Chains A and B, each alone.
Chain A
Amino acid sequence: MRHHLIPLLLLASACSAPRDHAEMRVDLEHAQELVAKRELANAAKLLERSLGPDAGHAADRGAELQRFHAAVLLVRTHVSAAFGAPFLPSARTPTGAAWNLDAKEPAPAPSPVAHCVAALRWVESARRWYVDVRAADGADREDLLPAALDGVAPRDALAYVQLAALACHARLRFEDRVEEILAGMDVLGELDRCDALLASTRVEDGLRPWIYYGVFEHWAPSDEPRAFKFAVRALETAAQARTFGAREQERLARWIQHDSRFAFRCPTCETLADPVLFSCSVCRRPTLEFEPGPRETAK
């Protein structure tokens, strides 16, 4: 989609009500393209307009399916912004001083927190609307959804939504909410299954350290060897994505080096785990394969 067509699309979206399946399908396709090109503000605007004021009352099963996928795309849009390229402005100045009434108004800084809140609003919509689309799972969806979406089972899309919610709540430090989400996702308890779910649901790189961190916090009080694996994976993915919090990064490093009851050592050469290295500094064995031992022997 070329840039100059976007305003026309938005205008068309605003003027046509009720929308038919074909129009909505086109909007979903264009919104996806915008997300892929990181034109996130335009994607959010297009999707919200497409849903329209009466989004709570979809006309039929097909419209329900389209509405659900639009909500999922809005979640994806806002988390991509929150953990990558925020566009919603903060009310703070870039220096954090929101109170200097005499100063000239500086340009507002973008707010990742605002995007987390907005994403969670659409998470709720996707969950609510998902109930309505189960029956459409097996329907012929080619006329309803663009090619990139028509292979997506709504349940997989909802799993993505749940993972996005987990990342947002971990980012906002609502640990109770993280626990509630994890309670329904046993699959996240094993690192390899967690990796598989994140891969199959195409979770963005920026969310991954937050998801692993949330699972780490869940296991740390009760199963430290298991928590260690999630801590290492969180640090690995944080190094790639650069969207992780400094406080959380420090927490993980301190836990590995001091707070855990165990010392984690390379099974080959007994080198201690180093939170900034993801393989043994001596023999290059992956840190994920390190084994727990008594802390005392490490001193």
Chain B
Amino acid sequence: MSRTFLVAAVGLCAACASSSPSNSDPTTHLTFADTRGFPAQKLDGLVFGAARWDERHDEVFGVDLVRSADVLPIAVTVRLRGAGQDEARAWLNPERMGAELVLADGTTLSALPARAVAARVAERHGERVEKRALATGLLSPRGEEGWLYFDLAGHDDLEVEDACVEHSVDGRTRRLLLDQSLVTFDVTLDGREQSFCVGIGR
């Protein structure tokens, strides 16, 4: 049985047919970009978004939310930018926008309402958590940074160390960098819901 026939029979696998180099080989003159991670800010149509992890977030909230509340806090900015920004009507509601944090191995964490996070810490810290949460309202060209809180509770297999999440799977540990992870959520723009995703900077 020829090799070619075997390949066809299995019906699988990358580029099995074109193994012999020739002048017509379409891969001869390719160079390969290094596109590691995701940009931590993005303009998608009229919606501009940015996200960042702050390793000193305990100075913002007065408490380490990872250790004390089982929450991964990410600072997020969403605003309108570009031609038509003043006419467009975009609505953001953190309690309805289905925000998720997608770790580099595809593990997803859901966002928690600020009040639920506040209930996990002392009252004086909880007030800051609610006050600094991403705000509900119409987006404008001058949107302010607010925080989303991603729930680590129930994920005993996850351990956060600075900008890295260690994920234990089947006795092995995956080291997942936050800059290779995504924040995703929905924005309602001119009455239509559209998904938005952005990488996480520092």
Contact B4 A151 (CB under 8 A): yes
- Total A-B residue pairs with C-beta atoms closer than 8 Å? 187
CB distance from A59 to the nearest CB of B (A): 18
Contact B102 A53 (CB under 8 A): no
Q: Which of A90, A149, A165 contacts B13 (CB 8 A)?
A: A149
Asked if A147 is at the interface (CB within 8 A of a chain B CB), the reply is yes
* Chain A: interface residue total (CB-CB under 8 A): 69
**Of B31-39, B58-66, B67-75, the one touching chain A:** B31-39
Residues of chain B with a CB closer than 8 A to A130's CB: 32
Per-residue CB proximity of A21-51 to B under 8 Å, as 1/0?
0000000000010011000000001001100
Per-residue CB proximity of B114-146 to A under 8 Å, as 1/0?
001000000000000000000000000000000
A274 CA to B72 CA in the complex, in Å? Answer: 48
A148 CA to B39 CA in the complex, in Å? Answer: 36
Residues of chain A with a CB closer than 8 A to B27's CB: 153, 155-156, 158-159, 187, 197, 200-201
Closest to B42 in A: A174
**8 Å CB contacts to B: which residues of A123-170?**
124, 127, 130, 147-153, 155-162, 165, 169
Asked if A253 is at the interface (CB within 8 A of a chain B CB), the reply is no
Contact B197 A202 (CB under 8 A): no
Asked if A89 is at the interface (CB within 8 A of a chain B CB), the reply is yes
Contact B106 A88 (CB under 8 A): yes
Contact A91 B108 (CB under 8 A): yes
A118 CA to B101 CA in the complex, in Å? Answer: 13
Q: Which of A72, A101, A247 contacts B116 (CB 8 A)?
A: A101
Asked if B161 is at the interface (CB within 8 A of a chain A CB), the reply is no
Residues of chain B with a CB closer than 8 A to A52's CB: 172
Residues of chain A with a CB closer than 8 A to B99's CB: 98
Given A113-B184, A180-B35 in contact, is the A151-B7 Cβ separation under 8 Å?
A: yes
Contact A193 B26 (CB under 8 A): yes
Residues of chain B with a CB closer than 8 A to A176's CB: 39
Per-residue CB proximity of B169-202 to A under 8 Å, as 1/0?
1111100000011101010000000100100000
Q: Which of B18, B110, B172 contacts A92 (CB 8 A)?
A: B110
Residues of chain B with a CB closer than 8 A to A173's CB: 42, 44, 197
Binding site for B on A (CB under 8 A): 14, 32, 35-36, 45, 48-49, 52-53, 72, 76, 78, 88-92, 96-99, 101, 111, 113-115, 117-118, 120-121, 124, 127, 130, 147-153, 155-162, 165, 169, 172-174, 176-177, 180-181, 183-187, 193, 196-197, 200-202, 247
4 closest cross-chain pairs (CB), A and B: A156-B15, A91-B110, A118-B106, A184-B31
